[in-house]
Amino acid sequence: MANPTPPTGCGNISSDYYFLCNTDVDWGIVVESLAAVGIVTTVILLLVLLFSICRVQDGTKRSLIPTQFLFLLGTLGIFGLIFAFVIRLNETTAPTRFFLFGVLFALCFACLLAHAFDLIKLVRGRNPFSGWVLLVITISLTTVQLIIAIQYVAINIVSLKNLDKGKQLDEKRREDFVLLLIYVLFLMALLLIVSLFVFCGSYKRWKRHGVHIFLTALVSTGIWVVWITMLMKGNLDLEKRPVWDDPVISIALLANGWVFLIFYAIPELCFLTDPEKPGDYPPENNFCQPKHIKKNYGVENRAYAQEDNTQGRTRQDGNKDHPYVPYSTHFQLENLEPQQDFSIPRPKARPSPYQDYSGGKGLN
């Protein structure tokens, strides 16, 4: 069969890449242009994050840098994945779509969840997670979706490579594509709920970070509800299936990528280098010393009580002649009994029996 005539703006290239250059159907050009801008912006933010490490004074924010770096990498992958949906479905793009879509979003939402868990402790004045713990949480949550995607692609690799014959997804593959994302939907719902608990605490300065996470989760949830509804039902009702399948998913990827940047990444980088303030954390000894054994510095001096409160008070021994005077000693020295002599007696020499002896015998 002869190759179809290239559309306006396209040269002698494969028909799979027509949406990248077709000026008659301009959705592909608009989407890829905005995706390219998103890639450049994300790379710049990654560089800013790396160069800001030495300027971060707050240890808690410094421990979040590895997690935020992974988040930006996931966002960069989302912008790159858009090109797999602008290019027509073939044996290369099909496994990429089914594998990376869920994994990249799981990585981003796992990073946001780890940050939300950390904020829940900070707003309550508790010791935050270390950087290694945040990384373990992020990687653990992402690994679940990674295993699901690997199993699906490994089992259906042959059928995925044969999808290019029809150049479109059939009904079963659409359902499989959405079912693969159930775990991501769970992470998104969990993030939306957990981010609400960030607002329950006494340290208000950390709550603005919770606002970033909550808005990101809320807007992302709305985007996902719309594109899943359009893919499964809306396009069919509008009689635009399968023409609108790839544009719907591409626009959803683009919108969610920019939501990640505008609502979370850029604001967090703006506050990353802010110095630590006294109101951000409880007193230092709150983390290491239980409250019931804290030492009270200074004792109450009862000698400086009000004189009015001492009128009419008498000594505890019942002696009314000497009222209790707060500015005097408790021991009334004038009333003490005379002290007895407890000194040790010294030895005294006895008189000698020869004291009057003259030294001569008496004469008879």
Rounded CA gap, 362 and 359, in Å? 10
The length of the chain in residues reads 364
- In a domain, residue 350? The reply is no
- In a domain, residue 217? The reply is yes
Rounded CA gap, 20 and 256, in Å? 21
Give the range of the structural domain holding residue 235, as residue numbers without chain letter.
20-275
**What is the model's pLDDT at position 58?**
79
- In a domain, residue 246? The reply is yes
Minimal CA–CA distance to 113: which of 223, 199, 217? Answer: 217
- In a domain, residue 307? The reply is no
- In a domain, residue 75? The reply is yes
Based on the structure, what is the number of domains in the chain?
Answer: 1
- In a domain, residue 25? The reply is yes
Write the CA distances from 272 to 109, 239, 311, 329, integer angstroms. Answer: 20, 48, 63, 60
CATH number at residue 192: 1.20.1070.10
**What is the model's pLDDT at position 351?**
67
Write the CA distances from 41 to 32, 67, 94, integer angstroms. Answer: 14, 18, 27
**What is the model's pLDDT at position 51?**
92
**What is the model's pLDDT at position 88?**
86
- In a domain, residue 354? The reply is no
Q: Which residues of the chain have pLDDT under 70?
A: 1-4, 161-170, 275-364
**What is the model's pLDDT at position 160?**
72
**What is the model's pLDDT at position 163?**
62
Rounded CA gap, 154 and 161, in Å? 12
Which phi-psi region, left, alpha or beta, contains residue 16 (left: φ > 0; alpha: ψ -120 to 50)? alpha
- In a domain, residue 360? The reply is no
**What is the model's pLDDT at position 3?**
55
Three-class DSSP category at 361: coil
**What is the model's pLDDT at position 59?**
80
